[in-house]
Chains A and B, each alone.
Chain A
Amino acid sequence: MRIVAATVFALQIPFVEAFAHSIRNRAYSDAIIVRVVAADGTVGYGEAIARPYVTGETVDSCLDFMVNTLWPAVQQQDYSLPPADALTGVDWLNQVALTLPTDMAGSGQLDPSVVAWHAARTGWELALVDCLLKSAGRSLGEILPPQRAIVTYSGVITASGVERAVKVAKRFQQFGLSHLKVKVTGQDDRGRIAAIRDAVGAEPLIRLDGNGAYTVESAIATCQALAPYAIASAEQLIPRGDPAALAQVQAATSIPQIVDESLITLADAQALINAKACQGFNLRLSKCGGLAQTLEIARLADEANIFVQVGCQVGETAVLSAAGRHLAAGLPQVKFVEGSYGKLLLSQDISRTPVQFGYRGHAPMLTRPGLGVDVQDEAIAAYARQTLRLEATSRVHCQSTPRVAH
């Protein structure tokens, strides 16, 4: 099956509330949507979220790589439709992913600031997978058979003052969420965590996420100081770098350490395992390079007895959320899941039927063909600040949307 046309949209969807962590404060989603059309007319959607402080990709560089490197490669392929069984289905996912270049080497361009073009590749991989599965009338769930009937999502409390953090914690308690992740920054961590624990009681599991804001010493001290509040895990307290430093933190505390920004590539995964740097991996599709590569990292984690958290990108729309749902349902060793916030965070999502989780953070499997999302083109058009129409000749028509979403 050939892909005959594609459009890439840079969206700007306002958040209901700003989202903050130790590195960034965001007021809107800057998701990139890839829309592909196959020769039989089937339409598929993928999504990428570019984060310079994670993979090194910016929205602009991601768009550039998508248009000038990935689109020419996709045009050359005649894709096979997915097989019926899960066993060969994963091989098929790998084959689709292998058609997507990993760097600009072919064009003679190198970008040293980019760790990996994972957001860009994820956007295209998901669009192709969605399109080809739909064309075959199959759901991604047939390739990643669910290991559980319901996925349970966590609430995330962003970096903010104590009063606001407590308010948000109470909202999540009202929503019945039993897993909470709290962004920590090194400023009044003890006061915030104590107040949150006091507000929600002993039952909910509380995890920390430092987004690399600590040194080894301050990370260890923070874990010691917060241990009395029954912390379920601590994520990426120190910045991406030497796995031995992470191992030092893990060795000094009983709180399970999860790696996030430190885990982008397969090589990262192997190095972290070799260094015994952590007890958990945070797998995010747009960070880890799409379904095929994320499944491979998950396999390494399973072999090394490392648990998995399926994470998300702040501002993701229903497309990435749906792919994350399939991943979270299909992996055996998932301990925590994030994402699918839908209209809890976005002023508007792009799917007609919501992918968002409900009370208790519970969300069902998605069983419709492809990723299982009914994307509304009108919503994409309304929130697109840039639209790149790609034609078979590789020519690009750029249309900047003058109106910026409210």
Chain B
Amino acid sequence: MTLHSLIETYYDSQTGDFAKSSEFQRLESGRLNVIEIDEFIHNLCRSHLKSPQILAFLYAIAPPAAADAVQHNLLEEMGLDEAGIRHPDLLYQLMQAAGFSPQQQDAVTAAAQAQVRSLCTDPLMFGTIKELGLSVLLEVTCFEWMLARLSSRMGQALQTHRGIPTDGLAWFSHHSEVDIRHAEEGIEAVVHYVNDYDIEADELATILDITFRENVFIRRYFGGPALVLTAPEWEAVS
């Protein structure tokens, strides 16, 4: 098996498992209630609002052969490419269309920032940035792989079951288009990274296992209650 097809196998498996998961099925079939759908929107926006920072990190450590593609991806995310669409703006558009108040949108922004903070304050489990960078690159490019295949279905579900108009779903339609290219480039970037940093097959297998020990999409989109939507209630009555 080539390195390219090994990575593809993992991405296919993660994406397939997500599509078959009860969480995704419930979203698509309209069996999530409004609160649960809003938690999904919250979690999705929280996950992707920090994409520019994550891509900037990946650009900083990208091997020469992958640097151009990662840089283009980063500029695209920030709206500095020829299309000029800031992807975080599309997420705010989504939240607005879902009726999130300015305070709720601020809370999602803060939650995304808190995740960036966590990335910096959580103890590093790897010995060097080489391993950490590979793990982050694998997760990011796996997301692109999945979004190229499932983002339009997610957008459709939000339109059908949450009544979000097409304008509010631009993030999904945009990603279903651009991530088809990103998905292929992503796997190539991983191959370049593995080769450039001399990562051995056994080490790659272990980092793949660590990164994908759970379904990253379920974890990021459905992995628990959205904390900022869950205010502690006991203080007022105790």
Given A343-B122, A357-B123, A391-B238, is A381 in contact with B214 using a C-beta cutoff of 8 Å? no
Q: Does B131 touch A at the CB level, under 8 Å?
A: yes
Is there an interface contact between A358 and B230, defined as CB atoms closer than 8 Å? no
A334-363 Cβ-contact flags toward B at 8 Å (1 or 0): 000000000110011000011011110001
Is there an interface contact between B121 and A354, defined as CB atoms closer than 8 Å? yes
Give the contacting residue for A354; candidates B122, B209, B230, B238; CB below 8 A. Answer: B122
- A23 to B186 alpha-carbon distance, docked (Å): 44
A-binding segment of B139-147, B153-161, B163-171, B221-229: B221-229
> What's the minimum C-beta distance from A19 to chain B, rounded to whole angstroms?
13
When distances are taken between beta carbons in the complex, the residues of chain B under 8 Å from A291 are none
Is there an interface contact between A16 and B230, defined as CB atoms closer than 8 Å? no
Q: Does A176 touch B at the CB level, under 8 Å?
A: yes
When distances are taken between beta carbons in the complex, the residues of chain B under 8 Å from A347 are 219, 223-224
Interface majority SS (helix, strand, loop, mixed), chain A: mixed
When distances are taken between beta carbons in the complex, the residues of chain A under 8 Å from B126 are 174-175, 359
Is there an interface contact between A376 and B227, defined as CB atoms closer than 8 Å? yes
Is there an interface contact between A359 and B123, defined as CB atoms closer than 8 Å? yes
When distances are taken between beta carbons in the complex, the residues of chain A under 8 Å from B209 are 167, 170-171
Give the contacting residue for B210; candidates A171, A343, A387, A390; CB below 8 A. Answer: A171
When distances are taken between beta carbons in the complex, the residues of chain B under 8 Å from A14 are 224
Give the contacting residue for A381; candidates B205, B232, B238; CB below 8 A. Answer: B232
**Nearest residue, chain A, Cβ from B228:** A378
When distances are taken between beta carbons in the complex, the residues of chain A under 8 Å from B122 are 343, 354, 356
When distances are taken between beta carbons in the complex, the residues of chain A under 8 Å from B232 are 377-378, 380-381
Is there an interface contact between B222 and A406, defined as CB atoms closer than 8 Å? yes
Is there an interface contact between A406 and B227, defined as CB atoms closer than 8 Å? no
Residues of chain B in range 200-225 having any CB-CB distance to chain A below 8 Å = 202-203, 205-207, 209-210, 213-214, 219, 222-225
A308-346 Cβ-contact flags toward B at 8 Å (1 or 0): 000000000000000000000000000000000001100
Q: Does B83 touch A at the CB level, under 8 Å?
A: no
Give the contacting residue for A174; candidates B118, B131, B214, B237; CB below 8 A. Answer: B131
**Nearest residue, chain A, Cβ from B122:** A354
- A371 to B27 alpha-carbon distance, docked (Å): 41
Q: Does A17 touch B at the CB level, under 8 Å?
A: yes
> What's the minimum C-beta distance from B7 to chain A, rounded to whole angstroms?
18
**Nearest residue, chain A, Cβ from B202:** A170
Residues of chain B in range 87-130 having any CB-CB distance to chain A below 8 Å = 118, 121-127
> What's the minimum C-beta distance from A356 to chain B, rounded to whole angstroms?
6
Q: Does A104 touch B at the CB level, under 8 Å?
A: no
Q: Closest 5 interchain pairs by CB?
A: A358-B123, A382-B225, A381-B232, A382-B230, A377-B232
Please report A residues at the B interface, Cβ cutoff 8 Å: 5, 7, 14, 16-17, 37, 167, 170-171, 173-176, 343-344, 347-348, 353-354, 356-359, 363, 376-383, 387, 389-391, 397, 399, 403, 405-406
**Can you report 18 A-B residue pairs in the complex whose CB atoms are below 8 A from each other?**
A16-B213, A17-B213, A173-B206, A174-B210, A343-B122, A347-B223, A354-B121, A354-B122, A359-B127, A378-B227, A380-B232, A381-B230, A382-B224, A389-B234, A390-B238, A399-B233, A399-B234, A406-B223
Known: A347-B224, A382-B224. 8 other contacts (CB 8 A): A174-B206, A359-B123, A378-B228, A381-B230, A389-B234, A391-B238, A405-B224, A406-B223
